[in-house]
Amino acid sequence: MLNREKGAAPLYYQLKEILKEQIENEQYKKGDIFLSEKQLQEMYQVSRVTVRQAINELVSAGYLQCGRGVGTTVVFEKIDEQLKQVISFSEEMEQHGIVMGTSHCVMEKVIADGIVAKNLEIEKGTSVYRLERVRCAESVPLVYSISYLSEKYQLPLEEEHYRDSLYRFLKDTYGIVIAGGKDTFEAVLSTKTTGDFLNIPVGEPVFKRTRKTYDQDRDILEYTVCYYVGSKYKYSVNL
């Protein structure tokens, strides 16, 4: 229940977090009509203003949707990605019927540090491409990624080429085929950088996925580190 002691977090924030957890735990599923303002006021003994502020926060975060004549509807659904093959984020979203977008995209050339050089199997200090993006599902930030690509292929720096699927662009423009790869997953806490890009608090759990891919010549093409919002994404593996 809500903590009303002096110094506690604002009631609207506490209520938002309680309702958010209930939705994430599928107590209320996508498509369900959510509780009314009056029901929430009575259940949690709070004012209408407190309820509205909590609901507005959940709408902005992509958990609820308010519609005239239909009430408040649950729109959140944790994306379940099944690990079968190396596919792009855009293809993942297409498989789930979700509209994908890119809210941040920067492509540049940088000098490879030790970690990047090791993963791309090149000399430290070699010039590489660095692609930084924030990908969204239904306009809500879902993944922050930093990709490093070798200079085997001369790639353009204009960001418009990378706002959609990177793999599709590489294949259609340069004939580059992703022949294989390796993903490594771990649970980490968001930093200020990941928190700012993903609109989540510092210290919130996120999925960290590290990926290396190979082209048709079996040369290392890409080294990517992705951070997924932990409350909105999950992976499952068929054994």
Q: What is the pLDDT of residues 185-232, one digit of tens each?
A: 888 888 899 999 999 888 888 888 899 998 888 899 999 999 988 776
Average pLDDT, integer, range 114-136: 93
How far, rounded to the nearest angstrom, does the alpha carbon of residue 177 sit from its chain's CA centroid? 25
Question: pLDDT-based confidence at 238, cuts 50/70/90?
Answer: low
State the Cα–Cα distance between residues 227 and 220, nearest whole angstrom. Answer: 21
Contact between 88 and 167 under an 8 Å Cβ cutoff? The reply is: yes
Domain with CATH 3.40.1410.10 in the chain: 79-236
Average pLDDT, integer, range 176-180: 85
Question: pLDDT-based confidence at 6, cuts 50/70/90?
Answer: confident
State the Cα–Cα distance between residues 76 and 65, nearest whole angstrom. Answer: 9
Compute how many other C-beta atoms are within 10 angstroms of the C-beta atom of residue 188: 12
Q: Give me the CATH topology for the region 11-74.
A: Arc Repressor Mutant, subunit A (1.10.10)
Phi then psi for residue 55, to 5 deg, are -65, -45
Q: Which of 22-26, 32-36, 61-65, 127-131 has the lowest mean pLDDT?
A: 61-65
Nearest to 131 by CA among 111, 117, 113, 145: 145
- pLDDT cut 90: percent of the chain above it: 38
Domain with CATH 1.10.10.10 in the chain: 11-74
CATH code at 79-236: 3.40.1410.10
Average pLDDT over the chain, rounded to an integer: 84
What's the pLDDT tens digit per position in 14-31?
A: 999 899 888 878 888 888
Determine if the pTM surpasses 0.85: no
